[in-house]
Structure 1
Amino acid sequence: MHERALVSEAVALASAGQPARIQRTPQATYAVGPEGLVAVVEPGDRPDGTAVRERGRLFLTGPFPEEVNALLLASFRERWDEPTVHGFVRLPGGCLPLGPLTHKAGGYDPDEGAVTEYELGLDHPLPFDVLDRVRPVSAAPRTPGTEWLDLLPHAPIDATSAFIADWYADAPAPEHHVPPALALPTPLAAFYRAVGGREELLGRQDRVFPPAGLRRLDDGSVAFGSENQGDFTLTIDPTAADPAVYYLGWADGPVRDPLPLSMFLMMFAVREASFTGPCYASGGVDEDQAQALTRGLRCVPTGGWLLGRDTEFHVGEGLVLQVDRGGRGPHVFLSARHRAHLAPLRAFDVAWHAFAG
């Protein structure tokens, strides 16, 4: 691809046509005109804010000016008269054109009844050297360790607490949080203490309920979690020291997981970390690529866990990596707490579906 020449901000905003209405926010300047919508975003690494987060993806996050949101929403709904959206990144010396942008996905807040984020795709992904100009990668302040694995298999509760403390060391806990009102088995009570009120640690792929969401069922069991679309509910006997975990709704009757609650929660925490880190990658690979990606990492013993029955988990070098062999070929999901830990993976010849490194 040819080198993208910088243009002035005036030229960039003029892509919206004339007359154009200019609206400025802290991380982006928007122009709305007869030719469509222009977004000139500020450079920088903002995993949760407006920025170019990947080579081929620009994210715009709210709050949005009302007129800008109306146009983005029209484009997101793929109306026939959807407006053209052009992207630029402001750099020293001018604005870097990203070209026309295509809607990929969005984030919606049901409580507010509003779209909070628009994910826009670039027709021509940026080369890594250009990406490093618009989204510089700083050195990682620390690398999470793997010493918690040494506590297995004899102390899974301690291993889970140590993993959460180390992996989420950068995630601040609220000053006050409500402890569980029910008497709980030690593994679940310890899990809540480790989470420390940080509800984002309770899972997004699947979910452990916050303490206030625990439900006692008619048979005396406690529902403590669920699949993200409600396909199953997780239950335990709260009177047992380290109870079995059951899935309700997965089959005609309850399905028992091979792991006791203590090991289940450890694997739950690792699996969620592999999906939900602020910096992530995923893609289909062959066996040689899977072996190369996991070389030098430590394998987490899954113990026949039902949610990971076709899956391996590996940790190390600031990464939590999952290799899923449930389809036609291996698929990898991996997460890092800092983008620098993904940078070495640029050297791998993988057709990434998503790569935020």
Structure 2
Amino acid sequence: MAAEGEATRVHRTVAGGNYRDLVEIRLWDVVAEPGALAVAGPGARVHETADAVFAAGPDGTVMIATGVRNAEDLTVSGPFPRLIEGRLTGGDGPPLHVFARLPDGCLTLGTARVTEPARRRGVLQRLDLRLDTPLPEHLLGLTEIGEPGADWLDLLPDDPLAAMERFAADWWDAPPTAPAEVTDRLPEALRVFQRAVAGRAESGSLRIYPEPVPGGPEGTLVFGEAGDGTFELLMDAGVDDPAVYYHGLSDRPLRERERLGRYLLLSVLAAAAMDGPAAGGMAFVDRAQARRIVAPLRRVPLRPLRWPSARSRIYAGPDTIALVGEDDADWFEVYVGTRSRSSLRRLRKLGLDWASFHEEIDEINEG
């Protein structure tokens, strides 16, 4: 897939880490990852971040990115190794050579420059970059980063049901296993759940019934239960968007902060973080570690769930869902589910003491 462009002469990496045989890599060539990293020169140090692989060597800095935002711009998220941060933000450093990862190799994008480093409390969180040579239109579609699993956030807080439908379609590959007939007697939120989500979010943590049943205290209906049987989910009868209660977590039914429509969306997101099938894990972390986990994510603009922790906030990105549960001021119970290898690499590099960690990602759609 080569096109006319300025050629860069590099060494090609061979088995054993030796460098032999000068080869040419031209703009828009597709090369194997070792060939792309070799542009940095002999003895280059390789680092991985959330969105990219870097090589820093005597001939320059190489970045293999997940993709680009448009024909000229791309963004990569940290945390960044100190060497890479220094090279990219230190002024007159060595040239930055950029490649975009494709299924069959790395597309040569030429050189780029940093346009805006984003810091939070002095820590570099994100870099916005601009390519020196814009991508031609016929290549843009191959490298452009879509936003599956993230555009639903823009529908909140006003339309949680449409957000639930869009998230479910993006996140799970398998179709829903809704009942053959979804009765009109159900509240609208449960109808949407059954048609778009049922079966996909079934997990060991929480189960939503196909149809509510009588039996709750004070005339409430039971519409779900915890996987371990510790509580039932109740809702008021005869209301289209009823209040939601936990029966079994306290002496009296405990009312959830959000009503049924928003609660069901939050429960679906919680299942994505806690129960897969995405890769990820669970950890107990301090406040600083929790901030690092959610740094590249957006907070879902709804009130916290009361379960699995007293205040369970959810954060989301195009390929990651995180639930951060707070029971006291010092420690947090965190669950993370991710569908991409770049986010999985980032989670591994955070240095957390994971209570559980699942890395199987072979069948995950990486977009």
Normalising by structure 2, report the TM-score.
0.52
Instruction: Give me the whole-angstrom Cα distance separating, in 1, the residues matched to 2:304 and 2:346.
Output: 31
Q: Aligned with 1:189: secondary structure?
A: helix
Q: State how far apart, in whole Å, the 2-side matches of 1:166 and 1:326 are.
A: 31
**Residue deviations 1:18-40, cap 9 Å, x none?**
xxxxxxxxxxxxxxxxxxxxxxx
Partner of 2:214: 216
Deviation of 1:270 after TM superposition, in Å, equals 0.9
1:277/1:337 contact within 8 Å kept? no
Rounded Cα–Cα distance in structure 1 between residues aligned with 2:348 and 2:228: 33
- Listed as ranges, the gaps of 5+ residues in structure 1 are 1-137
Equivalence for 1:44? none
> Which residue is equivalent to 1:192?
194
Shift of 1:291: 1.4
How far, CA to CA, are the matches of 1:182 and 1:215 in structure 2?
15
Equivalent residue for 1:39?
none
Q: Give % identity.
A: 31
Equivalent of residue 172 in structure 1, options 172, 175, 192: 175
Change (3 A) 1:351 1:258: closer
- Please give the secondary structure, in 2, of the residue aligned with 1:311: strand
Structure 1 residues 1-357: aligned runs within 5 Å: 144-168=148-172, 170-173=173-176, 177-181=179-183, 183-195=185-197, 198-211=198-211, 214-217=212-215, 221-278=220-277, 279-307=279-307, 308-326=309-327, 329-339=331-341, 341-357=343-359
SS at match of 1:306: coil
| SS of equivalent residue, structure 1 residue 202 | coil
Question: Do 2:184 and 2:191's aligned partners in 1 also have CA atoms closer than 8 Å?
Answer: no
Report the residue type matching 2:252 in the other structure.
G
TM-score by length of 1: 0.53
> CA contact under 8 A between 2:183 and 2:191: conserved in structure 1?
no
Q: Are the structure 2 counterparts of residues 249 and 311 from structure 1 closer, same or farther at C-alpha, using a change threshold of 3 Å?
A: closer
Query: Is the Cα contact below 8 Å between 1:342 and 1:356 reproduced in 2?
Result: no
Q: How much has 1:182 moved relative to structure 2?
A: 6.8
Deviation at 1:143, TM superposition (A): 6.4
1:309-338 superposed Cα distances (whole Å, 9 cap, x missing partner): 322211114111122222552232101235
Paired AA for residue 281 in structure 1: G
CA shift, 1:295, in A, is: 1.0
8 Å contact 2:179–2:210 — kept in the other structure?
A: no
Distance, in Å, in 1 between the alignment partners of 2:292 and 2:304 is 24
Structure 1 counterpart of 2:171, one-letter code: W
Change (3 A) 1:293 1:256: closer
Q: What do the CA deviations read for 1:131-154 (whole angstroms, capped 9, x no partner)?
A: xxxxxxx97x98633111111111
Question: After the TM superposition, which of the residue ranges 241-250 and 308-317 deviates more from structure 2?
Answer: 308-317
Q: CA deviation at 1:341?
A: 3.4
The answer to whether the 8 A contact 1:204-1:276 is kept is: yes
Q: Is the 8 A contact 2:207 2:227 kept in 1?
A: yes
Query: What is the letter of the counterpart of residue 319 of structure 1?
Result: T
Contact 1:185 1:238 in 2 (8 A): no
Q: Specify whether residues 248 and 281 from structure 1 end up closer, same or farther in structure 2 by C-alpha distance, changes over 3 A only.
A: closer
Contact preservation (8 Å) 1:275, 1:333: yes
Instruction: Give the Cα separation in 2 of the matches to 1:343 and 1:349.
Output: 11
- 2:112 is matched with none
Aligned length: 213
Change (3 A) 1:224 1:351: same
| Root mean square deviation, CA, Å | 2.7
- Are the structure 2 counterparts of residues 248 and 312 from structure 1 closer, same or farther at C-alpha, using a change threshold of 3 Å? closer
344 and 351 in structure 1: CA distance in 2 versus 1, 3 angstrom threshold: same
**Structure 1 residues 171 and 143: CA distance shift in structure 2, 3 A:** farther
Distance 2:241 2:343 in 1: 36
Please list every run of 5 or more consecutive structure 2 residues that lacks an aligned counterpart in the other structure.
1-101, 104-144, 360-367
> What amino acid is the match of 1:299?
R
Q: Which residue of 2 aligns with 1:48?
A: none
Residue 67 of structure 1 is matched in structure 2 by none
Paired residues of 1:183 and 1:238 also in contact (CA < 8 A): no
Q: Contact 1:206/1:226 (CA < 8 Å) preserved in 2?
A: yes
Report how far residue 265 of structure 1 moved: 0.6
Equivalent-residue separation in structure 1 for 2:214 and 2:165 (angstroms): 25
Contact between 2:148 and 2:319, CA under 8 Å: does it hold in 1?
Answer: yes
